[in-house]
Structure 1
Amino acid sequence: MLRNYELAYIADPELDEEALASLEERVKSWIEAAEGKTLNVDRWGKRKLAYQIQKRSEGYYFIFETEMPPTAGKTLERELGLSEQILRYLLTRREP
């Protein structure tokens, strides 16, 4: 049984376009490895943060709409937390 989730993350502002695209593909592969699928990716671009995170005052915002099994969240959050290119992330369940 797949559930709908929304994943928002903030990437390091010092990354170039190639590194951002690579990070986006890596996140998609983590979702697929967790037996999920990516429905939509929304790039918000570079934005000013409300407060500093890891001495950064800006970051690139990404919003993923996904379908994953309920057990996949922990695996995905582990990968996101280990990535040094991701400053902060939030994985929430969406109502269909």
Structure 2
Amino acid sequence: MRHYEIVFIVHPDQSEQVPAMVERYKSLIATGNGTVHRLEDWGRRQLTYPIQKIHKAHYVLMNVEIGQETLDELEHAFKFNDAVLRHLTIKMDHAVTEPSPMMKEEKSKSLTGGAQAQEGQAAA
């Protein structure tokens, strides 16, 4: 089995259904004897360019270890799900489990934002 990094972008009107989609894809991976090493929900983000006249979308990142047959099933599921605007699959050399740079940046922003809020409350 090989390691893959998969990013898919979901239509913003379908954001409430993202957890159900992720569970469906995780069960598809599990039935193919694969494992999910990392799963990150990046939430709604601005697109670099409009896709189908849409400027924002919901991003999800998965690092998985699956066989070729399961990968084909997963990509087939992406293609025939109208809510998935785009998907990208990259073959990796090894399993990646640490947080992505995107999540590290958000975590550092939330930590510094929380510290600034506490300083503001202490000054008041």
Q: TM-score, normalised by structure 2?
A: 0.69
Candidates 36, 39, 45, aligned match of 1:38: 36
1:16 CA drift (Å): 4.1
Aligned residues: 94
* Cα distance in structure 2, aligned partners of 1:63 and 1:16: 15
Extract unaligned runs of 5+ from structure 1: none
* Cα distance in structure 1, aligned partners of 2:62 and 2:52: 23
Partner in structure 2 of residue 86 of structure 1? 84
Provide, for residues 14-65 of structure 1, a one-character-per-residue CA deviation record: whole Å limited to 9, x for no partner.
1243x12111111212222333221110111110111111221110110001
* Cα distance in structure 1, aligned partners of 2:38 and 2:63: 5
Partner in structure 1 of residue 49 of structure 2? 51
Q: CA RMSD in A?
A: 1.4
* Cα distance in structure 2, aligned partners of 1:31 and 1:86: 18
The answer on whether the counterparts of 1:34 and 1:76 sit within 8 Å (CA) in structure 2 is no
The answer on whether the counterparts of 1:8 and 1:62 sit within 8 Å (CA) in structure 2 is yes
* Cα distance in structure 1, aligned partners of 2:58 and 2:65: 23
- Which protein, 1 or 2, shows the higher relative CO under an 8 Å CA cutoff with sep ≥ 6? 1
Partner in structure 2 of residue 75 of structure 1? 73
Candidates 53, 63, 66, aligned match of 1:65: 63
The answer on whether the counterparts of 2:28 and 2:70 sit within 8 Å (CA) in structure 1 is no
Question: Could you tell me the percent identity over the aligned residues?
Answer: 29
The answer on whether the counterparts of 2:15 and 2:58 sit within 8 Å (CA) in structure 1 is no
Secondary structure of residue in 2 paired with 1:71: helix
Letter matched to residue 33 of structure 2: E
Q: Normalized per residue, which structure has more strand?
A: 1
Q: TM-score, normalised by structure 1?
A: 0.87
The answer on whether the counterparts of 1:9 and 1:62 sit within 8 Å (CA) in structure 2 is yes
* Cα distance in structure 2, aligned partners of 1:12 and 1:34: 27
Letter matched to residue 4 of structure 1: H
Letter matched to residue 65 of structure 1: N
The answer on whether the counterparts of 1:30 and 1:79 sit within 8 Å (CA) in structure 2 is no
